[in-house]
Structure 1
């Protein structure tokens, strides 16, 4: 389990993280979201003992990691897939990690096979694609078979097959009772992968809750997709009732009115419906709305 309590980090006059408190529990995948400059990377580095906090604590299973020996046995992490020596082979890189953390070298071949790099173990890392480096970084995180795993943007550079593999891997690790904490800007993948979310903006906590609870925040924007031979008539009815209606590929996309209300209005006005499909609020929509005031560099547009 990861516990962050009143965590603060200042760099001179700038405060990167301010009084942050949240818990990442075992047995589930927790996504870590925030706009650029929100303080995600700084928070991860403090959790991993790479930066000292100005105030507060960040612990893994009740201990700070800064001076804990054989760290890879306690927590595995991928922070930067490029942060490897390009002249080493994949096997040599992992072997060095294994030796320094008291891990049997037999684990090197096991994790290379697990991430799909068994045939690339003797190749130099400098010739790897970004996707291969991401797989190697994940292998390094798994090397010590740790109970806690932290990943920063693990999907960058992966093809669709690789993304599907990572999604399955994270689910399996959580099902084994491990704590899995994943920072990512790819909202659709977080929505499909994570069970819980921690969302920050300008270094402060915005939300710590389930994906469904976060997506449902700021209600009133759920709607539906509607197909009807009387599209213009129904659009006028729904607009008058406070909905927002757009037409795409012959269908009406409605927001601001739920599917049940749309059905009631159609019946009342004698409009025949060929399709009425509820449209749930997406994680990206909720994220954009709830972090709008926390974006460091924006276009000036607010929704």
Structure 2
């Protein structure tokens, strides 16, 4: 029996989730269809631009993404605190960037008078909007539905475009997060769609590297903020330069007939994560093969299973082998 989504997405355990949506039809989401010869490459831009747009509306940050030929990967961070800090006006304005709302919220957005007997209804609506704006299911719905409609219109057909609801994995600790981000960023390199991470079109790693060349961080993505410290800003607690170097070195190793090794600077992250270079290569090559449920160290999985009162510790053997 499938696990209910509310049990998979548990912010009490982690704000980080790996989400995957796959296309159901033989007609490609993106790329070139070898049967018809038709190119759907432009659809990559649809997915990428829509996802980045949603990150500016929802209280959800994008850590990594990759748009492939028949599926898309996203690593997301839910910022529930941000949604709670928004004023009622901000919540309504954010929601109206995507949806029309109703007459009551439209009047509120325009600053018109709300009567006392309408206030209770408005408060309930805003509470629901606030919840949705920090909800991964609503984020993925707002991403996938417009893409499906646009693709169906272009293909001149109706029916399902995505194979079903998106798949999601809880990333329970730093090791799981970094391994999943690198796995996502290296998708085009593994698929031989690109030779290097910086040449991987419609990926987060290309966006990060392009910004780094200007001495900046990609404003559309969750930033890297360096090592942990008190009063840290929101972001990934690693150095961006080290992460880019690690992904680049890993990509060189993964390329066929390309000798290489992970250098000492890139290995600093692996040492901190307690992951060997050999295990890191396995994780960044077959992350989804090894894990179908929550991902993390044995201690993280134990805590997760106990919190959800599960008797079976799913993935514990693989976790013990790969996460030291």
TM norm structure 2:
0.25
Question: Counting strand residues as a fraction of each chain, which structure ranks higher?
Answer: 1
Question: Counting helix residues as a fraction of each chain, which structure ranks higher?
Answer: 2
TM norm structure 1:
0.26
Which one has a bigger Cα radius of gyration? 1
